[in-house]
Amino acid sequence: MAEFDTVSISGLNQKQSPKSILQMCLNSIIKVVLRVFTNKSEIHRLLVKYETDPNPALLISKIVKSLSSSKNKSLREIAQFLHGRPLDLTIEKCSDKISGEKFHHSKNDILLKNLENILLHSSNYGFFKNTVLTKQIERFCSYDDNHEQALREIWENLSIEPLTGRISKQWSYLGFQGTDPATDFRGMGALALYSMHHMSKKPETKNLLMKSQHPKTGFPWAMICINITSLLIELVKGDFEKLCIKLYRKNPFCEEEEALEIFYDLFVDIVEDFLRFFTIEDQSDLLQFSKYRSDYKSILLNNGRPHFF
């Protein structure tokens, strides 16, 4: 019960609606018209607006989209690089390629500076994505002292009694399925462990655990946490636009701890919000978890809960 089968983010977008196809065609026509009348590419026009745009992170998102939809393979590869694909590229190489392709006739220091800033901010997402996915594939290991210490601290932060043994039925108090929590982490690995550890340090989480014990409206906290980790991983793998923009707003960073801290904070917000969304009036409602999870994910994908992003 710790991890339910889930629908991948790509599975939700296998077919484009006629409306979205029409919108793409209109956008292409508009781009051509603007190119003819301004003698500037879309990326060139966006770079000019960068310093005065009230929402620069959204503008960065538009530039990344423009790169990813380009007919030029090298520009598409830059978008992939910025979103974490390992390629033989650097920010400097990306800047040279874009400026050479998109505004070689009108290069100036301001445009080049704007381009470099945009590339640095947009590379946040690729670094974040790779860091989070690396932590997710790190298997929970009972021989890893760091893993075991984090698990013990989760218990110490949230329990109401001492743990009698590493293998114990007491773990069910936190919502683990069996006597050994290691078996519950499975696909979410150390990422779920450290996300839960981060949440366990919040004073309000202990109150949440008390509520989880209610005989009618209670819930398995650990199971919820592991599944929310899985949901967030689906959004990360799918390059969820709102999450990308959230990362574009950050100052450029290259420390793994900073990337993971962003994920852990988002995890806490989503777990707490999901538990408000998941109405449990009776224990039989837990059987509807997969439906609630799917509905909640759809809300996120359709720009719901904007305060998180």
pLDDT in tens, 106-145: 668 888 999 999 999 999 999 999 999 999 999 999 999 9
Q: Which of 122, 156, 181 is the last residue of a domain?
A: 122
The answer to the question of residue 68 being in a domain is yes
Residue at token pair 């962003």: 262
Contacts of 261 (CB under 8 A, 6+ apart): none
Q: Which residues have C-beta within 8 Å of that of residue 100, sequence separation ≥ 6?
A: none
Is 248 found in the same domain as 99?
A: no
Residues 178 and 300 in one domain: yes
Domain boundary among 107, 122, 137: 122
Are 109 and 234 part of one and the same domain? no
> Are 34 and 86 part of one and the same domain?
yes
Lowest mean pLDDT segment, chosen from 24-33, 58-67, 183-192: 24-33
Closest to 194 in 3D by CA, of 268, 276, 273: 268
Shared domain check, 154 and 248 = yes
* Residue in the structure block whose two tokens are 């290991």: 141
Total of domains in the chain: 2
The reply to whether 101 and 193 lie within a common domain is no
Do 188 and 258 share a domain, yes or no?
A: yes
Q: Residue 179 belongs to what domain range?
A: 145-308
Calculate helix-pair angle for 73-82, 56-68, nearest 10 degrees: 130
Whether 140 is in a domain gets the answer no
Same domain, 171 and 299: yes
CA–CA gap between residue 191 and residue 236 (Å, rounded): 13
Whole-prediction pTM: 0.86
Banded model confidence at residue 105, pLDDT cuts 50, 70, 90: low
How does residue 309 score in pLDDT terms, banded at 50, 70 and 90? Answer: confident
In a domain, 134, yes or no: no
Whether 166 is covered by a domain: the verdict is yes
| Residue 70 and residue 217 in one domain | no
